[in-house]
Amino acid sequence: MAEEKKTNESNSPAADLKSERDRFVKTFTRGARLTDEFIQDYERLLDKLAVLEAENANLRAQVAADRAVRELVQKIELLEAEKSDLLSRTNRAEAISHQFTTRVQEVESEFSNLANLYVASNQLHSSLSPRGVTRRIKEVLAQLLGAERYSMYLANQQGTELVPIASEGVPGGDLLPVPIAGTRLGAVLASGQAAVEEDGDPSHGQLDRPAAVIPLLVDERVVGVIAIFSTLSQKTRFDAVDFELFRLLGQQAAAALVSASLFAQADRRLPGLEAFLDLSV
């Protein structure tokens, strides 16, 4: 028993060794704790770094998106400027095209008017018989002026009446001589100026108030009138070419009719050569 106790006491460390061991254990434990704390701090830093990297990535993506948006806005502004320029050019081109089209229409209208005047003049002088000239005058009135009811009058030798010599659309009972004094037809004969209803609808003209009255001249002398009582329903106004046709009829219709009458009275024989001598005198 005494030996056993002695053995245990020999196995127990000395007091200084125990103290050293305790210090070592404490030191090791504190190192482990410090290591754990360091590892925890390191892990927190890693987590924070990951968060910062994610935020940085988001910021880079946002910056890239903002740059893309700015570039897109710049492209849109550039396209808008190009669009405005194209619209401006298109508007100018349309204006020029409209002006050109308008001018072409004006030229075509003028050409058509000249063609009508040429046809009318040619028609009036295409015959040397009074009946043929009268028929040509009626064709001009109907086809080029759109006259539906009209009559041509010549003054009698006494200068008191206008006698109807040709008409269309007027009942025979209304074709009577018209006094020159106190009548509208007589006033046109006396003044030599046409009387035209410019503001009214010529298709609504009446026998007592013709839509147009045109003086007929032979060598600047008024010898008769053409009275257009009314036009076709689609002819609701007189335009510029109509007034030119009025002037042409007034200057050439009676002259053509007189020439044809004289030619008929001469048995359709041309004058002899002596009639054309010394025409310059």
Give the per-residue pLDDT at 147.
Answer: 93
Give the per-residue pLDDT at 224.
Answer: 93
At 62, phi and psi to the nearest 5? -65, -40
Global pTM value = 0.61
Q: 145 with 245: CB under 8 angstroms? A: yes
What is the token pair recorded at 160?
């008191």
What is the token pair recorded at 271?
């004058």
Give the per-residue pLDDT at 192.
Answer: 92
Strands (E), 72-220: 147-155, 161-168, 178-179, 195-196, 212-218
Amino acid type, 233: S
Give the per-residue pLDDT at 92.
Answer: 87
Q: Show the low-confidence residues of the chain (pLDDT under 50).
A: 2, 5-7
147-165 pLDDT, tens digit each: 999 999 999 989 899 999 9
